Amino acid sequence: EDQVTQSPEALRLQEGESSSLNCSYTVSGLRGLFWYRQDPGKGPEFLFTLYSAGEEKEKERLKATLTKKESFLHITAPKPEDSATYLCAVLLGGGGSNYKLTFGKGTLLTVNP
Amino acid sequence: GAGVSQSPRYKVAKRGQDVALRCDPISGHVSLFWYQQALGQGPEFLTYFQNEAQLDKSGLPSDRFFAERPEGSVSTLKIQRTQQEDSAVYLCASSFQGQTNQPQHFGDGTRLSIL
C-alpha cells in the first residue's frame, strides 16, 4: 500500500538552529512530491513541488530535496514565524488517480525566540 | 481575493441534521478537490471534479456525502443525516488542470462540529 511517513512528528528549535524534516514514501510511479505549510486554523499553503530524484528547490530559509525514497525540508537559521505544521504529499503517476494527493501526517515545528 | 474561498468557516450541527459546505475556487481553475482533515492528521482525499464532471468520488466516506459543481465553478459538499464521526475540517482545493503535476491550492476550510 502506498504510504507517506513524516518525521519527526514534532520538532522544537531555538531561533537560528538549523534542522531538517523528513518525508519518506513507499509509492510506485511518483509524479511529484509537494511540500505545504499549514498554520493553525488555515488551509495548507503551497511551498514546493519536486519532480525527480536529485532536484532541489529553495525559498528564503527553506530548501527541499528529493531522492528516490525520501524528501528533506531543510530549514536554515529558522525564525519564530517559521513555526507551523509542514505537510508532505505525493502525486502518483499512471492512469486512474494521477490527481489525488496522498499526505503524510505532518511535522509540527516550533521555533522559540 | 484571488485564493480559494470556503464558507462557512465554522459550522455546528446536531446529529441527524443536513449540512452544506461551499467552495469558490480560484478563477479559471478547471479542477476542484475536496479533502477531509481530522485533528492531527494530513488531509484525505474525498472527491475530484474536472469542470462540472465528478471524475472520482472514491474517497467519500458513505452515501450520506454528496458533492456537486453544476456550472463548473462553485462546488457544494453536502452531508446528510450527520454523525459525530463527520466532525472534521473540510478543505477545498483547486488547480489549473488536475491531471498534471501542478500544485493544488487550498482554502482555509470549514470546521464542522457535530453535537
Confidence class for position B101, pLDDT limits 50, 70, 90: confident
Query: Nearest CA of chain B to the CA of A42: how many Å?
Result: 5
The number of C-beta contacts closer than 8 angstroms across A and B is 61
Q: How far is CA A98 from CA A33, A65, A92, B99, B114, in A?
A: 12, 22, 5, 6, 33
Q: Could you tell me the sign of the dihedral formed by the alpha carbons of A80, A4, B113, B103, in that order? A: positive
- Comparing A28-32, A37-41, B85-89, B110-114, the range with the smallest average pLDDT is A28-32
Q: How far apart are CA A17 and CA A20, in angstroms?
A: 10
For A113, the 3-state DSSP assignment is coil
Query: Nearest CA of chain B to the CA of A31: how many Å?
Result: 7
Retrieve residue A73's grid coordinates. 525540508
Of the two residues A65 and A29, the one the predictor is more confident about is A65
Over residues A22-50, the mean pLDDT reads 93
Q: Do residues B42 and A5 lie in contact, with contact meaning Cβ atoms separated by under 8 Å? A: no
Q: Which of A32, A44, A105 sits opposite B106 (nearest CB)?
A: A44
For A81, the 3-state DSSP assignment is helix
Residue of A7, A25, A100, A107 best to disrupt the B interface, most CBs of B under 10 A: A100
Q: How far apart are CA A80 and CA B22, in angstroms?
A: 34
Q: How far apart are CA B98 and CA B30, in angstroms?
A: 7
Confidence class for position B98, pLDDT limits 50, 70, 90: low
Over residues A21-32, the mean pLDDT reads 88
Query: Nearest CA of chain B to the CA of A45: how many Å?
Result: 7
